[in-house]
Amino acid sequence: MTEMWVMFALLSVLAVLFVVTPFLRRERVQRVDHDANAERIAIYEQRCKELDDELSQGRMDTLVHYEAVLEMKRRLLNELAPEQALTSRGDNRIFALTGVAFLLAVSAVFYHWTGNSKQVESWYQAIEKLPEYGERAVMQKGEPLSANELQAFALGLRTKLAAEGDDAVAWMLLGRVAMSINDYEMAMQAFEKALQMTPDSPNVLINYSQVLLIEGSEGNINRAARMLSKVLQHDPGNIDAISLLALIAYERKDWLEAKTAFEVLLASLGQDDPRYAMITERIKEIEGHIASTQPKSAEASKQLVVQVTLAPELVKEVPENAVLFVFAKAVNGPKMPLAVAKLHEFKFPLSVTLDDGLAMMPELKLSQYQQVMVTARISKDESVALQAGELEGEGAQVTLQAGKNVTEVTISRVY
């Protein structure tokens, strides 16, 4: 900050010198003898008398006489000019001081309306406090940063990057700070820089995807989906990526994909997690959308009604907080289930209807296959994967017909 005021002072001194110097220069005045002026005037009067005589004697016409007198007057005035300069010469210091005062007044008014002294001072403070802001924001030391401090933190980070060059961590941090102050354009620019330096970083890909989703254009949503898919290729269980993909599918009204993603997300949370109830409600909402889009005619789609019972000897083996999965797989087809129903609350015997609305993937639907096998499994947790101690039963092979099909499954063994 001191350097700035020193520069202001130097510029002011230079400006004053440019204004004052011309006024302090002494004029070079030609000294004129008063007798010489009197002689010139006498010659002028004598010559005017001679011209008047020539005019009266008819040797000169009136126009020529007028022009001659006018020329003589001009010549006399030019010869008498140095004497006038002597009378006009005075003390220029008054003019110099007036110019300095005017310069300072105009500069002060101009800077008051157009200057940014407070912003410049805030800039220097942001640079000085950058380490402190970093500790409070990243290391969670002390009070959380206020909105103004976040603005200053972003300014300090941009100054650091401009002075010291690219740093992937600093660009990443700048992007997150920009998101906190709702400057999404700055956030996208920062994450783009970080992505160029660390193209495979999950943190950069996920945070960048969040900004792209907030921006909301179709192109940016598609790009966010590709980034999140890249994260899941290396880390299939990344909850942040799964939750963002669920939001993308929800915004696109791709209900089947959204339901699958939210169910995977729900399986990773405990029931005491505050997000559990919210996601459960979201899944129910999606199921309503799926049901509303299903064809009304039974002939237009295949449905499989599964009557599920539990062997009496296994009633006491049902674990607490168990989840019931009922799913159908193709006899000759992919290993992935074609339709899955998941129940958190159940009481045997019960009936579950499987159809295309419960498909795990849009391209794998129950109605696309003729022969399927149905499995019912009581799981200890939210995972559909079979674990030791879980209860399971498998029904007979079913050949699906158009409309409603019925089968039975009894849960009769412990894995």
- DSSP assignment of 383-407: --S--TT-EEEE---EE--SEEEEE
Reduce the DSSP state of residue 370 to 3 states and report it.
Answer: coil
Mean pLDDT, residues 268-278? 83
In CATH terms, is domain 299-414 a member of 2.60.40.1120?
A: yes
Q: Where are the domains of the chain?
A: 2-114, 119-290, 299-414
- What count of residues does the chain have? 415
125-158 confidence digits (pLDDT tens):
555 555 555 556 555 565 666 666 666 677 677 7
Predicted TM-score (pTM) above 0.75: no
pLDDT tens per residue across span 92-124 = 566 556 666 666 666 666 555 555 555 545 545
| CATH architecture group of domain 119-290 | Alpha Horseshoe (1.25)
pLDDT in tens, 159-174: 777 667 677 877 877 8
Count of C-beta atoms within a 10 Å radius of residue 297: 9
What pLDDT score was predicted for residue 176? 80
